[in-house]
Amino acid sequence: MIRRLPLLIFTFSVSIGFTQTVEWQRQFSIGVSISMASGVLFYNESITYSAIGARKWGYVAQNPTNTALGIGLAKIKSNSGDTIFVRRIQGWTSGISNMKIHKSFEGNLVIASVSVGDTIYDSQILIQKVDTNGNSIWVLPITDGYDSPQISKLIPTNDGGTFVLGSAISTIGGFQDWFLIKVGFNGQLLWSQRYSSGQNAYCEANNIEPLRNGNYMISGMAEPKVWSVEVNGDGNYVDEHPFYETQLPYLNFGAVVRQTHYKSFVASGEIESPIKNYYFARFDSAYNKVWGGENVARVGKVIATSSDGKILTLEGKFIINDTIFLKVYNFDSTLVWSYPIPRSGISPQNATINDVAFDGLGNVVLCGTANKPASTRDELFFMKISGIGLAYDPLADTIWVSKKEKIRNQTIISAFPNPTTKEIRFRGLQGSFQIWLYSSEGKLVLCKKTVADMPLHIETLAPGLYSYRIKQGDLWYSGRVMKE
């Protein structure tokens, strides 16, 4: 069961202290077919990528309902919204927001989706890596053990792999569990774990992020609860914390917990009561509520936090044909600014935001689905908003931290000469270390244990850009080198 956040409008006046601007907005179809954008990635200041689905690409004849979508990749200019390409990649998915995308450490793209088999109900999981032009590097189909899965989040792991977070029909006692899958850098399934809040529980996972203690926090809904589970790097259960609980039968869809500055947390969720209520609150490091509670007749969710305690949210009224507001709050709950997302060119009905990409430079890109005007067909929807005032991505500099390992900034060491033709050495290292060298397509081309004062011979490699990862003791380093 998926809950997508509708674009809503209500009258609200606030003094804006920043210069929020919609730099561009795009709504289009692939041909005349139903289209949808489910995952968005702010690749760099020039390029945005999105995982998309489209009916145009058809479906295999075994599915008589013809309700599946082909999976595609959209490459968009970040500064203008102009489309560079829309390309079909491998797989089929159902017509709901069940595709997510992330950037691997060497600069390629990993996309996870619900994979549709011979019928729309025969759904498993498809994970694939493509290069920045949409060319396949590897494909990992997961065909067993996941009944009616949902994909909610992808993040890189501290060894170059990928965590895939989602939910599926329960195998451990409830109606639906959370699951966490770890995929290796070269596309191998390393392990999978399940989490449930107990008997007869319906659990919906929505977010995973690294904690400052080196573990990971998974958060989402567990029946009426906004719930979080702390796991280690192998996905093993460490602890759990309920942040809020409403009265049954009302559930907390879209529930999310995020860590903030000063070792505290913010939690949010949409309570499916007769009149939707939006829960939004901050908790201290001991999980005691500091401020917040239910907001009657509202919907919303926390989408990012910053190093100085700022909290970025999407909020609005629950009325379907109204607009949503992008808001920033201070650590003490005071509202910094509230920016109404304009609806120019967007059909009033059923416009949704399926994913948000936060670039850390004060910009966000929203992606989703909007009705085509005067039609029941859905179209791709993208919007870039600048000037949000949060020049920090909480995931970018914490993802490589674990209890046993730390990634050093690649400027601490450097490869030389760079560019090179025959060999490379490394400044800033002493003693022995292990090195992995990858091509621009993400293929492992060299793995060797060596010492700092010995050259690494690469004259047999083809010219091009290569990325390296170095492990020395419990420290990791990464960087790039050009072979001419």
Domain residue ranges of the chain, discontinuous segments joined by +: 5-386, 406-483
Q: Could you give phi then psi for residue 66, rounded to 5 degrees?
A: 55, 40
Q: Distance between CA 323 and CA 98 in Å, rounded?
A: 24
Question: What pLDDT does residue 403 have?
Answer: 29
Q: Distance between CA 265 and CA 255 in Å, rounded?
A: 13
How many residues can be counted in the chain? 484
Question: What pLDDT does residue 12 have?
Answer: 30
Residue 333 β-bridge partners: none
Tens digit of each residue's pLDDT, the chain (484 residues): 334 444 332 223 333 345 888 899 888 888 777 888 999 998 888 899 999 988 888 655 444 455 678 899 999 999 999 999 999 999 888 766 689 999 887 789 999 999 886 554 567 899 999 999 999 999 999 988 888 899 999 988 877 889 999 999 888 877 899 999 999 988 999 999 999 887 778 889 999 988 777 789 999 998 888 999 999 989 999 999 989 988 877 788 889 999 886 678 999 998 887 778 889 999 998 899 999 998 877 888 888 887 677 888 988 765 555 677 889 998 899 999 998 886 555 544 456 788 888 876 778 899 988 877 655 578 888 999 988 876 544 443 333 323 233 334 333 577 888 888 889 988 888 888 888 887 765 667 888 888 888 889 998 888 877 878 888 887 777 777 888 8
Question: What pLDDT does residue 331 have?
Answer: 87
Q: Are strands 99-103 and 289-296 parallel, antiparallel or unpaired?
A: unpaired
Is domain 406-483 in CATH 1.25.40.10, yes or no? Answer: no
Q: What share of the chain is helix, strand, coil (3-state, %, to 5)?
A: 0, 55, 45
pTM for this one?
Answer: 0.78
Q: Distance between CA 57 and CA 53 in Å, rounded?
A: 9
Give the torsion sign (CA, 263, 208, 154, 34): negative
Question: What pLDDT does residue 63 have?
Answer: 46
> Residues 130, 118: contact at Cβ < 8 Å?
no
Question: What pLDDT does residue 226 have?
Answer: 92
Question: What pLDDT does residue 81 have?
Answer: 93
Question: What pLDDT does residue 118 have?
Answer: 52
Question: What pLDDT does residue 132 have?
Answer: 93
Query: Residue 27: enclosing H or E segment and its boundaries?
Result: strand 21-28
**The CATH fold of domain 5-386:** Methylamine Dehydrogenase; Chain H (2.130.10)
Q: What residues have CB less than 8 Å from 130, skipping those under 6 apart?
A: 73, 89, 108, 109, 111, 136, 137
Question: What pLDDT does residue 91 have?
Answer: 87
Question: What pLDDT does residue 151 have?
Answer: 94
State the virtual CA torsion across 75, 81, 82, 83 in degrees, nearest 10: 20
